[in-house]
Structure 1
Amino acid sequence: MNREITVNVCMGTGGIAAGGEQVMKALKQEFEAAGIKNAKIMENCKLHKVGCRGFCARDVLVDVTIDGETSTYQYIEEKMVKRLVQDHVVGGKPITEWLVGDDYHTFHEKQTKIVLHDLGKIDPESIDEYLGVDGYKAAQKVVAEMTPEEVIKTIKDSGLRGRGGGGFPAGVKWAFCAANESDQRYIICNADEGDPGAFMDRSVIEGNPHAVIEGMIIGAYAIGSSLGYVYIRAEYPLAVDRLHTALNAARERGYLGEKLFGTDFNFDIKVKLGAGAFVCGEETALIASIEGERGMPRAKPPFPANKGLWGKPTIINNVETFANVPPIINKGADWFASIGSEKSKGTKVIALTGKIRNTGLIEIPMGMTLKEIIYDIGGGIEGDKLFKAVQTGGPSGGCIPQQYIDLPVHYEGLQSVGSMMGSGGMVVLDETDCMVAIAKFFLTFTQEESCGKCVPCRIGTKRLLEILTRITEGEGRKGDIELLQQLAEDVRDSSLCGLGMSAPNPVISTIKYFRHEYEAHINQKKCPSKTCNKLLTFFIREHQCVGCGMCIRACAVNAITGEKKQPHHIDQDKCIKCGSCFDACKFNAVLKE
């Protein structure tokens, strides 16, 4: 009896960056060679690419499934493929030393996957595989059997909130738009994901673009729209390519275009490439960009649901929001509302990064604690260092200290401690991170991304950054903390759009929870975390130095002297405290205090 064999290779951006294309090519070659010698075994063997598997830290991930039993391999390289095919695919014996460990299963078992359910299982470039997991079933049901009012009520009853940042109820927004009399309405998918360390929306489009398209079809039917846009940054070439492939396939099957599913409903989707401006994640700036104008926000009201793209009523939701819609239609509002917390229903996709063992893409039920995310799913802090804080909500979020490790992660929980959900980025920090430097890092980003339209954001963020830079370079002054606090509040309260309003959050939260670090920088001219080089002294321990000369070659100002195989010395008068010697030393001979 022939065996059913399937080999899946992670071909999201992370998998490709780790060598997925080379692994896929080698597998095809080995399959051909094995097929010649073992035709009966290889007759029912399928090889195909899948989207992000979530456990990005272990790419390239490869699944080998034989007669329904799956073995998952990690860190697979091109040179390992021949043995993988010969021993497991042909021989039927898994290579145990290459398999994922218990942490892989722990990583997944506490997750609740709705948006990510089919990522890593289906080929994102195959519409037939999406149809095989009930794809477009929800859209067909909506268009053929439900009224627009029934669709909006279902989304309202589910409790789905927009996953793009503010958490506004999606069904309420759709109702506002549908209630406006107009000859045209638009629906826009915001895929302009620009937060540092965030890759949720990109991964969903790379791994299951049809789910987003189907969600937009349902939303368009609900509000009476005949045209939609996906606004996606051009820096996501793989996501853009797979999105175009999916749109073309949907049109060929009659799921986009005229008379969808044999009805009188017409709807199509265009793709608009953004140039990578963070501010275009703000809905009015995004609209301006689609219209061909410079991406700058405008004052609200009127809100886009009333007057949006080209002055017409417009709905804007992000990728994750639309991907939640088909499962809600298929399984019902009550099913979705049963997941999560009282006011935050469903799940949240999170990009888990930073000083953590298991970085990757996860989906958790709303209300799971930070501790469960960091230690159960994330595997704890890298190098067994102490957990210090976590930044949620991207550069516009706040830093949550260790004392709130049991905080439930939902909209209200994060807001209660001065942070936010945002689009779902989560950066874990350990004891070696300086919180003043962290605030400076995020302010550097938001200040550079300010469109400059309003004075509070354009000038205020620049002044905040100047003060933070001064403090981290040992030039902090008495009263700087109070000045930062007041200026941050002014920027927050008077900026035109969400970027400026939330840009000061890292400053406000770090002052609130880590004021002692600011005081040490200003009063003692010391960085407690030994991160800010300008506040450190670098020296060489003679008994540890082997005289290899690496530090001498790394020093740009010739501040280090010493003979070969003899202890070296740093001239403190010449040292510019760049830290290059510390980074170059392989023997832990260079210390910083």
Structure 2
Amino acid sequence: MTLTSFGPANRIARTAETHPLTWRLRDDGEPVWLDEYQAKNGYAAAHKAFADMAQDDIVQTVKDAGLKGRGGAGFPTGVKWGLMPKDESMNIRYLLCNADEMEPNTWKDRMLMEQLPHLLIEGMLISARALKTYRGYIFLRGEYTTAAVHLRRAVEEAKAAGLLGKNILGSGFDFELFVHTGAGRYICGEETALINSLEGRRANPRSKPPFPAAVGVWGKPTCVNNVETLCNVPAIIGNGVDWYKSLAREGSEDHGTKLMGFSGKVKNPGLWELPFGVTARELFEDYAGGMRDGFTLKCWQPGGAGTGFLLPEHLDAQMYAGGIAKVGTRMGTGLAMAVDDSVNMVSLLRNMEQFFARESCGFCTPCRDGLPWSVKLLMAIEKGEGQPGDIETLLGLVGFLGPGKTFCAHAPGAVEPLGSAIKYFRPEFEAGIAQAKPGVPPLARPIVIGA
């Protein structure tokens, strides 16, 4: 898998002015350690934040820049930071980095942590200064063993250089940072489930309110941000709001750049840092190179398994939250997947829903019972043993498990691709419905909740 931010045929060079996340990457893919990172202007933004900016000014700068969360939800980062309490007596507070990247077809945070670990540490250091947090945790997907090794080495380098620990840069500000590996649960990507897991509890989402900014880790004010989100902070502080806003393409309501990618049977599957507002067609044709010889694009997902399917005719949509919303789904993580014409959509959806059903925390009934029910129906349709009414039942589940119907966003994300697949490829589902013999009524399908 290519991990690069170069354009077609390497014609577009990475520069600090155009590729704030990836310009420091080495061509050989090796990590950028402290000496090289500092030689490439690393920690300059942290020095600026500590020496020249008040803590509230850092928060306001991030808010003015319009930075939004890069984990998939897209919530404004500065607004989230502003929810942290102003009361100086509440001096125990935490900053958590959500590095539990388990969305199928998404690997962008992995690249940043493996190859640019100090960029994440600098982003967390500046954020901790702004939020007055004295301790931070990188909650890392357990399978990312290489990232864990690289992050821990980078943390030790930063400590030795006086960039973490006590009295950082002579400011009197203390910040400790720890790498915590998770146990492999998709639901830990939900911030309150992540907090429960960090505390040693079962990874169930919490009721909100209270939000983590008020009651988070061990009952203290807590801010949770995604890896890519935090990696944007140094460039915003170092280069300013106007520069950051100028990076996006005309028409985009989102600012800055985004790590985007394409996987599937494309000629050049990979990951690139691109400005918000590029079209999906540009990403698919110019960067991913289109489909491999002998394959035709059937449909695509714009940002992970939890986003709806789109057709080739939707490739002209701009890659930003509002642009993808106009064609009926969410941008999600921004890493798209191409589905070729050899793929049966029923089999693909059965595979997806099995994953989502297995990863449900089981806390609320619609998700716990609804997702296995969808799997059972899809398995029958896949075998040609579906019963009349099964498709309508699946569509009913899409509604019952939609936004606002469950405790967290796991179930709505799980059924969004199912609803879109039936919308665009219903004949493939109908082909799996068994035809009743003349004079023989179809078998009644027993509904066993939770089976």
**Normalised TM-score (structure 1):** 0.69
CA offsets 1:256-315 (integer angstroms, 9 cap, x no match) = 011111111111101111011100011000000111111111121111122111111111
Greater alpha carbon shift after TM alignment, 246-255 vs 106-115: 106-115
Pairing partner for 1:232 from 140, 147, 156: 140
Is the counterpart of residue 405 in structure 1 residue 315 in structure 2?
A: yes
Distance in 1 of aligned mates of 2:385 and 2:144 = 40
Residue 452 of structure 1: aligned partner? 362
Amino acid in the other structure paired with 2:25: L
Q: Secondary structure at the match of 1:432?
A: coil
Residue 362 of structure 1: aligned partner? 272
Distance in 2 of aligned mates of 1:480 and 1:180 = 55
Shift of 1:124: 2.2
Does the 8 Å CA contact 1:213/1:247 hold for their aligned counterparts? yes
Residue 172 of structure 1: aligned partner? 79
Shift of 1:521: 3.1
Shift of 1:125: 5.1
After TM superposition, list the pairs within 5 Å mapping 1:455-466 onto structure 2: 455-466=365-376
Pairing partner for 1:290 from 192, 198, 201: 198
Shift of 1:326: 0.5
Distance in 1 of aligned mates of 2:358 and 2:112 = 27
Pairing partner for 2:97 from 166, 177, 189: 189
Residue 62 of structure 1: aligned partner? none
Q: Percent of pairs identical after alignment? A: 41
Distance in 2 of aligned mates of 1:442 and 1:509 = 13
Is the counterpart of residue 312 in structure 1 residue 220 in structure 2?
A: yes
Residue 203 of structure 1: aligned partner? 111
Does the 8 Å CA contact 1:395/1:506 hold for their aligned counterparts? yes
Structure 1 runs of 4+ aligned residues shifted over 3 Å read: 52-55, 106-112, 178-181
Distance in 2 of aligned mates of 1:311 and 1:415 = 36
Distance in 1 of aligned mates of 2:199 and 2:148 = 20
Amino acid in the other structure paired with 1:170: T
Does the 8 Å CA contact 1:395/1:446 hold for their aligned counterparts? no
Does the 8 Å CA contact 2:25/2:32 hold for their aligned counterparts? no
Residue 515 of structure 1: aligned partner? 426
Distance in 2 of aligned mates of 1:169 and 1:214 = 20
After TM superposition, list the pairs within 5 Å mapping 1:403-442 onto structure 2: 403-442=313-352
Distance in 1 of aligned mates of 2:62 and 2:294 = 43
Residue 20 of structure 2: aligned partner? 114
Q: Secondary structure at the match of 2:305?
A: helix
Is the counterpart of residue 128 in structure 1 residue 35 in structure 2?
A: yes
Distance in 1 of aligned mates of 2:57 and 2:351 = 46
Distance in 2 of aligned mates of 1:409 and 1:342 = 8
Specify whether residues 472 and 106 from structure 1 end up closer, same or farther in structure 2 by C-alpha distance, changes over 3 A only: farther
Instruction: In structure 1, list runs of 5 or more residues that go unmatched.
Output: 1-13, 16-51, 56-101, 526-593
Does the 8 Å CA contact 2:252/2:323 hold for their aligned counterparts? no
Is the counterpart of residue 385 in structure 1 residue 291 in structure 2?
A: no
Shift of 1:453: 1.1
Shift of 1:106: 5.5
Residue 444 of structure 2: aligned partner? none
Q: Secondary structure at the match of 1:504?
A: helix
Pairing partner for 2:408 from 475, 497, 501: 497
Considering Cα pairs closer than 8 Å and 6+ residues apart, tell me whether 1 or 2 has the greater RCO.
2
Instruction: In structure 2, list runs of 5 or more residues that go unmatched.
Output: 437-451
Does the 8 Å CA contact 1:439/1:507 hold for their aligned counterparts? yes
Does the 8 Å CA contact 1:143/1:265 hold for their aligned counterparts? no
Residue 337 of structure 1: aligned partner? 245
Amino acid in the other structure paired with 1:389: C
CA offsets 1:52-75 (integer angstroms, 9 cap, x no match) = 4468xxxxxxxxxxxxxxxxxxxx
Larger Rg: 1
Distance in 1 of aligned mates of 2:339 and 2:252 = 29
CA offsets 1:351-378 (integer angstroms, 9 cap, x no match) = 4211111011112211111111111111
Does the 8 Å CA contact 1:178/1:222 hold for their aligned counterparts? no
CA offsets 1:36-65 (integer angstroms, 9 cap, x no match) = xxxxxxxxxxxxxxxx4468xxxxxxxxxx
The size of the alignment, in residue pairs, is 430
Specify whether residues 524 and 373 from structure 1 end up closer, same or farther in structure 2 by C-alpha distance, changes over 3 A only: farther
Distance in 1 of aligned mates of 2:116 and 2:406 = 37
Q: Secondary structure at the match of 2:278?
A: coil
Is the counterpart of residue 275 in structure 1 residue 159 in structure 2?
A: no
Shift of 1:475: 1.0
Does the 8 Å CA contact 2:252/2:320 hold for their aligned counterparts? no
Distance in 2 of aligned mates of 1:107 and 1:385 = 28
